[in-house]
Chains A and B, each alone.
Chain A
Amino acid sequence: MAPQLTLQAPLELPPQEVPDYLGRLWEGEQEQANGASTFSLVVWEPAWIEQQLVRLGRLTGPINGLERPELLQAAREAIPVCGLPPSTSPLAPELAWQLGQLPGDASAEDLRGQQVDAAISRHQPRRLITLAPTLDGHRPLETLVAAYCPLPEEGPMTSVCGDVVVMRGGLGALEHGLQMVNPLISAELPCWVWWNGCLDEAPQLFEAVSQAPRRLVVDTAIGSPARALEVLCSRAASGQAISDLNWYRLVSWRESLAMAFDMPSRRDALAHVVQLDIDVQGHQPVQGLLMAAWIADRLGWQLEHTSKAEGEGILASFRRPDGAPVRFRQMPVPVGTPSTHPGSLVGLRLVCEPEGRTPLCVILCGETGGCMRLEAGGMARLELVEEVVATAVESSQKEVSRTLRGGHDSTNPLLCAAAPLAAKLLPN
């Protein structure tokens, strides 16, 4: 479905006039339209890679912050140009930084916040506020407001409408304009804040916008792993509702691993794991660490030691409830066609040695990667279970849509338990 546009051309207003204007927006002619009693959504939408690619003339506009196929294709083509490894994800922040070193001055219309992905507009947000930082750090603040009414497919012709507010400018201007944001967010409706960028790129702004009880949506696949895990842990521990798109992408992997041990004859083996190996794409370790942490938490392991391994891997040792050790190793591996999201799981191997029985080895492979590294070495003596994990690659907007649809005002308990352990697994 194509993104939906706002009902009218956005009106540029001075920031101080925005609240009054929005208060008057539905009076007069719009008697048949009701404001949606749904939720507010604040989006941090830097779209750095898209802005850079447009600036370099490698992508035509408009800039809209959506993960369109042309953007991903242009990003993939730019990776070798920037001298980055082939396994670099097209949405990796380092690509944006490298692109920023190249000369270019093309431009295009900026429609961030005005073109709304249908996956999100379908939920009829009451108010959608987009914070759109520009490449020009000195650009003054512009504020745009518009009405937004998805047409009902059937049923009464009464529309359930909302409005959009776009704040666009340099980082400094946005921070200065932040005082405008809070009054625009209804205290009566839930509010989500989707930080669609690195968690360390605008810390002051992030802290100001993302306070509880707002429900935070982040992606720990982007940016500094330490900062990402720190935010995840601290916000979850404080009781704030936080969703991590990177964690969500592990759904199929968790399900596949659980399925491997559904057979009653295998369940006992889970108490006798001796080795866990995880391969991830590229050098972003967080998704792999979250998977390892989830397994450790579910099986009651205690972390004893973690360190860097040769080749930017991670080595750790756990202690099982019965006191026996478990070796853990996570390695970055190159892949031919990197996934859209950095650090995606490529493969997992779990080796169990139940007493008096044939050792069991469970290998899960991603659809797009190979598992040759995990399949190598001494398999003949093991009972081998190998499964391919089907993973659907979705845009971040679709992933966020799922969070909005069935939102909770608390963090998923499994994530709450896994995040601190994942943070501890990250070597200093």
Chain B
Amino acid sequence: MTATLTNPLRVGLRQERVISPQCLVIFGASGDLTHRKLIPALFELFRQRRLPSEFAVLGCARRPWSDEEFRAKMEQALAPVIAEDPAAWTTFCGGLFYEPVDLQKDEDVVRLGKRLEQIDRQRATRSNRTFYMSVSPNYYGSGCRALAAAGLLADPKRSRVVIEKPFGRDFASAQDLNRIVNSCAKENQIFRIDHYLGKETVQNILVLRFANTIFEPIWNRNYISSVQITAAETVGVEERAGYYESAGALRDMVQNHLTQMLALTAMEPPGRYEPESIRNEKAKVLQAARLAEEAEPWKCCVRGQYGPGGNSADPLAGYRQEPGVDPNSTTETYVSMKLFIDNWRWQGVPFYLRTGKRMPKRLSEVVLTFREAPVHLFDSAGAGPTANQLILRIQPNEGADFRFEVKAPGSGMRSRPVDMDFSYDESFGEPSDEGYVRLLADAMLGDPTLFTRSDEVEAAWRLYTPLVELIEQQPWQLPVYPYEARTWGPAAADSLLARDGLLWRRP
């Protein structure tokens, strides 16, 4: 791909909403999310002048670090980025603080409150706080309770809580956690992160659908024959075996990311572009969704686990050979399934979801396949006329692709498919922000549009409850099929579509 000139008029020009003075408190600040994602995202916001001067970050964890140690560790982790703008880092770093806090200890929470007041005086942060729970999911509930008990969540306009995924392990635990969290703070103070929603391309699904007149009239069962949603990773479990062994692909990717893409693709237009209107529609469509075979869920779901693969130059270990993984593990690293949405718009249209690790390509996409023309008037230059497709590329090569038939050059009247392509990289003069940049900014702004609401989370868990119960109670009904690393999943997944006369799209 040739390099595209940047647009010099775009530099420094973002018309972004301004973040108010506040203190961002990160619990679990000694963990890798903080130095891998959160601090880099905050530094990027700082460099874009989207953070006010009256801003502070207070890292909290059990480790007995000092402010200087915390700053030094962040500087070490971000060294390549800091090298681009060391002066900016010096200024930004002055707003980083650390307090050793164990949220399970009352005296620590009292000390936290005092430290926050001190930071308010020092940095003029106006008693405005965002609390980020980058801790084990086991501590979400107790952490929120501790903050509430200390009065740190009392002001709904000046306190927010951001909670990472996973939110619960199943429907019951998600409900319990929602009850606890909602007893500590109002719903509009709670921000449940799904970082896929921070991607421009995921947000673009809404704009594409509702800012254009041409799509909405055909975005339904009368014109669309099927939808495929794919989130494929090339990486294996890497260093996350401890978490992944108990989660699997269903909990790690399907219940959250794929379900969010499903909701945005299938939802009704909101009445207004307001957070609650959009979240209302997402919750509604998820409540109407169901597994294709709820009584016999094994008929509409395939699980897989990657085995060894690669080639002699780059051999890849199988999942069971990965460090930290039980050699007899039955955790799925691949899931595909078929869903329906029982409403007027989508009745009878199958939605196929798939996700997997160690697949040939890293990509996420939504593919809408349209019904074939009722009569084929023309011969096809290929094997046969292809159905129109709208492909929304979430990552990489973010953009969209519309595939349709045109006349093939020559004296006859034969058709062939062509692609009309839109690429973000080529069309806009600057790169998009990484997901956490957008999500952190929105959380600090108090805009919940890109965060999931309690009913959405519960609806997503309820949708997959038959599968979760099946895996826990009758795992033999849903066996884990092996697939070679760097392939598109087990053969059984192809059979899932073959029964409907379809094939998985080969990107």
Contact between A189 and B9, CB atoms less than 8 A apart: no
A124 in contact with B429 (CB, 8 Å) = no
Contact present for B4 and A267 (CB under 8 Å): yes
> Which residue in B124, B156, B427 is a CB contact (below 8 Å) of A154?
B156
Q: Of B54, B154, B427, which is in contact with the most chain A CB atoms at under 10 Å from its CB?
A: B54
Q: Which residue of A lies closest to B4 (CB)?
A: A264
The reply to whether A37 and B126 form a contact with Cβ atoms under 8 Å apart is yes
6 A-B residue pairs with CB within 8 Å? A38-B21, A152-B157, A155-B155, A264-B426, A268-B5, A406-B21
* Contact status B49-A254, CB under 8 Å: no
* CB nearest to B51 among chain A residues: A406
Q: Does B18 contact A406, Cβ atoms closer than 8 Å?
A: yes
- In the assembled complex, which residues on chain A have CB atoms less than 8 Å from the CB atom of B157? 152-155
A255 at the interface (CB under 8 A from B): yes
User: Given that A154-B156, A190-B124, A262-B428 are contacting pairs, would A251 and B15 also be in contact in the complex, using a CB cutoff of 8 Å?
Assistant: yes
Knowing A37-B126, A270-B8, the reply to whether A408 touches B427 (Cβ < 8 A) is: no
With contact pairs A155-B155, A407-B21, A410-B53 given, residues A37 and B120 touching in the complex (Cβ less than 8 Å): yes
- Which B residues touch A264, using CB under 8 A? 4-5, 426-427
Interface residues on B, range: 35 or more
Residues of A within 8 A of B154 (CB): 155-156
Complex formed: what's the CA distance from A36 to B126 in Å? 7
Nearest to B53 among chain A residues (CB) is A409
CA distance A263 to B125 in the complex (A): 41
B167 to chain A, nearest CB (A): 25
Q: What is the bound-complex CA distance between A154 and B5, given in angstroms?
A: 50
B429's nearest neighbour on chain A, judged by CB, is A262
Q: A155-B155, A190-B53, A406-B18 are in contact. Are A254 and B5 (CB under 8 A)?
A: no
In the assembled complex, how far is the CB of residue A161 from the closest CB belonging to chain B, in whole angstroms?
A: 13
B contact patch SS: loop
Interface 1/0 per residue, B383-405 and A, CB below 8 Å: 00000000000000000000000
Chain A residues with CB under 8 A of B54: 39, 190, 407
Given contacts A155-B157, A262-B428, contact A254 B21 (CB under 8 A): no
| Shortest CB distance B364–A (Å) | 25
Structural contact, A258 and B10, CB atoms closer than 8 A: yes
Does any Cβ of A come within 8 Å of B7's Cβ?
yes
Q: Are A298 and B53 in touch, CB under 8 angstroms?
A: no
State whether A270 touches B126 (Cβ < 8 A).
no
Q: How far is the CB of A35 from chain B (nearest CB, A)?
A: 11
Which residues of chain B are near A155, meaning CB under 8 Å? 154-158
A124 cross-chain contacts in B, Cβ below 8 A? 126
Tell me, in angstroms, the Cα distance from A39 to B54 when the chains sit together: 10
Which size bracket describes the interface of A in this complex?
35 or more
For chains A and B in complex, what number of residue pairs have CB atoms within 8 angstroms? 96
A257 an interface residue at 8 Å Cβ cutoff? Answer: yes
On B, residues with C-beta under 8 Å from A are 4-13, 15, 18-21, 49-50, 52-54, 120-121, 124-127, 154-158, 426-429
B-binding residues in A (CB < 8 A): 36-39, 124, 152-156, 160, 188-190, 251, 254-255, 257-258, 261-264, 267-268, 270, 295, 298-299, 402, 405-410, 412-414
Given contacts A37-B126, A37-B127, A154-B156, contact A270 B53 (CB under 8 A): no
Known: A258-B13, A406-B18. A263 touches B155 (CB 8 A): no
CB distance from A357 to the nearest CB of B (A): 14
Specify which chain A residues have a CB less than 8 angstroms from the CB of B4 in the assembled complex: 264, 267
Apart from A189-B124, A258-B10, list 15 A-B contacts with CB within 8 A. A37-B121, A37-B126, A38-B21, A39-B54, A155-B157, A255-B15, A261-B7, A261-B9, A263-B427, A264-B426, A295-B9, A298-B9, A406-B21, A406-B52, A413-B49
Cα A124 to Cα B120 with chains together (Å): 14
Q: Shortest Cβ distance from A128 into chain B, in angstroms?
A: 15
Q: With A and B bound together, what is the CA distance between A412 and B13 in angstroms?
A: 10
